[in-house]
Structures are given as structure tokens and as C-alpha cells.
Amino acid sequence: MTEPIRVAVHGAAGRMGRRVVALAAQDPDFEIVAAIEHADCSDLGHDAGLLAGIPAVDIPVASQWPGFADAVIDFSLPSAVDGVIANCIAAKIPLVMATTGLSPEQKNQLAEAAKTLPIVWAPSMSLAVNLTMKLAQQVAATLKDVPGGMDVEILERHHRYKADAPSGTALRFGELIAQQLGDDIRHVHGREGETGQRSRNEIGYHAIRVGDNPGEHTIVFGMLGEKIELNVGASNRDCYASGALTAAKFLKDREPGLYSMFDVLGLS
């Protein structure tokens, strides 16, 4: 029998961290070896399983990092990412970076760390989102020179508590589409007032914050006389937790490098 993957969850007391703990505990391919939180977290000492709404897993939430693990899954905040990267480098633990809203400097840190560690980083861990990104690339590449031109608009919906806008996933959709359309693409965030006629070389972004929506993205490709809309949405957060666990499985025995969910899905 194959040994289970020893996984440490950083941000274990958060909404996403709890779902990672819950799903990992139900999967025989995983063994939870650490549930990590910041030193001021009020849930320190609580059993990570009970905190996640499942039976106890005998792993208390702690601020100390483990000396060993086969992978760390990080669902936390951008302010914690520097420490996550440093601790993974120090302990030589592969990393699934699922935290969104990273700065350009932090993305550079990930690339540097990937010279010595295998790392999966993506703005979304959802398998469906990443497959839709691939479809969006194909649509853009096929229709970029369509007679009359093609307009691209990206609409994203998230819960009222989300701190960044537009979402990292929406921005990644735009980056991938722009790569197919050319170097002169402008990224426009919302519109107001007398904006004039829409430019042919722009991608528009629109962020909606409502209720408890866990995430929905619609990519509109508008042409003269017809349109294509790609829509992908989550009904709960488990798709992100499940995708992160799939990425952790991908990292097992992997060589150092910075991998994407396209790599995890075999879409590269």
C-alpha cells in the first residue's frame, strides 16, 4: 500500500483551511500532520478536525511549523505569504500556494523558491476554472482576427467579504486571453461617464460583491451578430479545497519548479 501524503495546512482555522482539513481527513491518500495558524489566532490548541466540523483528527491548531511534510497547502492572506515561503524553504517542504492577491514581489519570491522546491501556484485551485481558462485561450486564439472584431469582457461575482477586486482569477483570465490577442491590449476596470466608443484593443473587468457567493466568472466574447459566453461558478468552497489537494498529490516526488494548475491537469 502506498504511504499517504503527509500534508500541513496553513491557514487551517480559516474558511478554506477548514475545508481542506475536512476533505483531507476523508481521503485515505492524505495524512494531516500539521494545522498552522498565526500566533495570535484564537483557535490555537483546538483540534483541527473539530474546528472543521468533523471528528477529531488529533492535530491541534498551532503556530509552529512542522519539521517534515510532503506538502504544505496555504490558504491564508497575502501578508502571511512571505513567512510561508521562508518556512517551506527552510524545511524543504513542497508548497501549494492557494492564497490570492499576491504582489508582484511575492510572485517573484515564489519563482525564486521554485529553484529549490516544487511549487504549484494558481489564482484559482478549481479544476473547472482552470479548464475554462484553457477554453478561453482557445476561443481568443481562434477568433482574434474575426471580421468586425471581437470584444472581451470579464464579469466576476464573489461574496461580500472578499478583500480584493477584481479577483486574481479574473485577472488571470485576462492575462491568458491577452497573450492570444497581442501586446497592445489594455486592461480596463469598470466604466463610468462619457467613455466614448469602446476600443478594439481592451479587455474590460467588472467586479460584483454579493452575499455569500463563493465565486463565479463569466467571459464574454462579443462579435458583430453573435457572441460566446463561458461561465464557471462554484456552489461551495469544496472545489477549491479539492483542487488544492489534487495539486498536493501532483507535487509528490516532483522536481523543483513553478507549476500551474494547467500542469496538474495535463493541459500545458
Contact (CB, 8 A) for 28 and 4: yes
d(CA 186, CA 202): 4
Residue 84 parent element (H or E): helix 78-91
In the residue annotation, 162 being an active-site residue is answered as: yes
- Residues near 117 by Cβ (< 8 Å), separated by ≥ 6? 88, 89, 92, 93, 94, 95, 256
Which CA distances in Å does 212 have to 85, 144, 208, 234, 236?
A: 30, 35, 12, 11, 9
Q: Hunting for cell 483551511 — which residue is that?
A: 17
Which residue among the candidates 162, 187, 249, 252 is catalytic per the annotation?
162
The DSSP bridge partners found for residue 178 are: none
In the residue annotation, 159 being an active-site residue is answered as: no
Which residue among the candidates 46, 158, 206, 217 is catalytic per the annotation?
158
The DSSP bridge partners found for residue 118 are: 257
The DSSP bridge partners found for residue 257 are: 118
- What letter would DSSP give residue 76? S
d(CA 16, CA 225): 42
Catalytic residues: 158, 162
